[in-house]
Structure 1
Amino acid sequence: MRLFLLPISTRRSLIYCERMHEKLASDRTYLDRITNKANETWASWEKDDKSWKNWKKTLTVYGNKALRRIPYEEWGLKTIPPLTARRRQAELEGKEKVEVIFPGLFLREEKVPGILQQLATERQALHRKRMIWSIIGMPLSAPFMLVPVIPNIPFFYLVFRAYSHWKVDQTNFITALSGSKHLEFILKNKLLRSVPSSELDEAYTAGLMYPTREISRNAPVPSREQAEDISSIIEKQTNNGSEDVMVLQRWNGKLIAEHFKLPEMEVEIERAVEQVEQAIKGREELLEEKRELERATAAPSKALAEKPDNKIQKKADEVGKP
Structure 2
Amino acid sequence: MRLIAVPLARARPTSHPITTFVAQTASRAAEKAAADAAAKPNNGANPPKLPFTTRMLNKASAFWIDLGRTDQTSTFDWKRRTYVLGERLMDRIEYQEWALKGIDPAMGPHLIRRERKDADSPEATNGGIPKLDHVPLLYPPSLLEPERLLKSLKNLTDHRTPHHYRRFWYCVVGMPITIPFALVPVVPNLPFFYLVYRAWSHWKAYKSSQYLSTLIGQDRVRPTESKDLDAIFAQASPPVDASSPEASNKETETTATTSTSNPAQNEHMLLLTHHIPMLMDKMEFPEWVQADLRRARLQVEKSIAENKLDELESSAENESQESKK
Is the TM-score greater than 0.5?
A: yes
Separation of aligned partners in 2, 1:153 and 1:119: 31
1:38 equivalenced with 2:60 (yes/no): yes
1:136 equivalenced with 2:173 (yes/no): yes
Closer/same/farther in 2, CA of residues 286 and 116 from structure 1, 3 Å limit: closer
Separation of aligned partners in 1, 2:153 and 2:309: 29
Match of 1:186 among 215, 221, 227: 215
Match of 1:19 among 20, 25, 37: 25
Separation of aligned partners in 2, 1:138 and 1:78: 22
TM-score, normalising length: structure 1: 0.69
Query: More helix per residue: 1 or 2?
Result: 1
Identify the residue that residue 2 of structure 1 maps to in structure 2. Answer: 2
Q: For residues 121-154 of structure 1, what are the alpha-carbon distances to aligned partners after superposition, in whole Å with 9 as ceiling and x for unaligned?
A: 1122221221111111111112212222212111
What is the DSSP-based 3-state SS (H/G/I as helix, E as strand, rest coil) of the residue aligned with 1:55?
helix
Identify the residue that residue 238 of structure 1 maps to in structure 2. Answer: none
What is the DSSP-based 3-state SS (H/G/I as helix, E as strand, rest coil) of the residue aligned with 2:272?
coil
Closer/same/farther in 2, CA of residues 218 and 38 from structure 1, 3 Å limit: farther
Q: Is the 8 A contact 1:253 1:265 kept in 2?
A: no
Q: How does 1:1-322 map to 2 (within 5 A)?
A: 1-10=1-10, 11-20=17-26, 26=48, 28-52=50-74, 53-82=76-105, 87-89=110-112, 93=116, 94=119, 96-97=131-132, 98-167=135-204, 177-206=206-235, 209-210=236-237, 215-216=238-239, 218=241, 245-262=268-285, 263-283=287-307
| Counterpart residue type for residue 160 of structure 1 | Y
| Counterpart residue type for residue 264 of structure 1 | W
Uncovered stretches (5+) of structure 2, i.e. residues with no partner: 11-16, 39-46, 125-130, 243-266, 312-325
Closer/same/farther in 2, CA of residues 44 and 218 from structure 1, 3 Å limit: farther
Separation of aligned partners in 2, 1:107 and 1:92: 33
Separation of aligned partners in 1, 2:24 and 2:309: 37
Identify the residue that residue 236 of structure 1 maps to in structure 2. Answer: none
| Percent of residue pairs bearing the same amino acid type | 29
TM-score, normalising length: structure 2: 0.69
Separation of aligned partners in 1, 2:2 and 2:67: 32
Separation of aligned partners in 2, 1:60 and 1:283: 31
Q: For residues 146-199 of structure 1, what are the alpha-carbon distances to aligned partners after superposition, in whole Å with 9 as ceiling and x for unaligned?
A: 2222121110110111111114xxxxxxxx921101111211111222221111
RMSD: 2.9
Separation of aligned partners in 2, 1:71 and 1:187: 22
Decide which structure has the larger Cα Rg and report it. 1
Q: Is the 8 A contact 1:250 1:269 kept in 2?
A: no
Q: Is the 8 A contact 1:92 1:191 kept in 2?
A: no
Closer/same/farther in 2, CA of residues 109 and 85 from structure 1, 3 Å limit: closer
What is the DSSP-based 3-state SS (H/G/I as helix, E as strand, rest coil) of the residue aligned with 1:14?
strand
Closer/same/farther in 2, CA of residues 36 and 87 from structure 1, 3 Å limit: farther
Offset at residue 253 of structure 1 (A)? 1.3
What is the DSSP-based 3-state SS (H/G/I as helix, E as strand, rest coil) of the residue aligned with 1:51?
coil
Closer/same/farther in 2, CA of residues 217 and 140 from structure 1, 3 Å limit: farther
Larger RCO (CA under 8 A, 6+ residues apart): 2
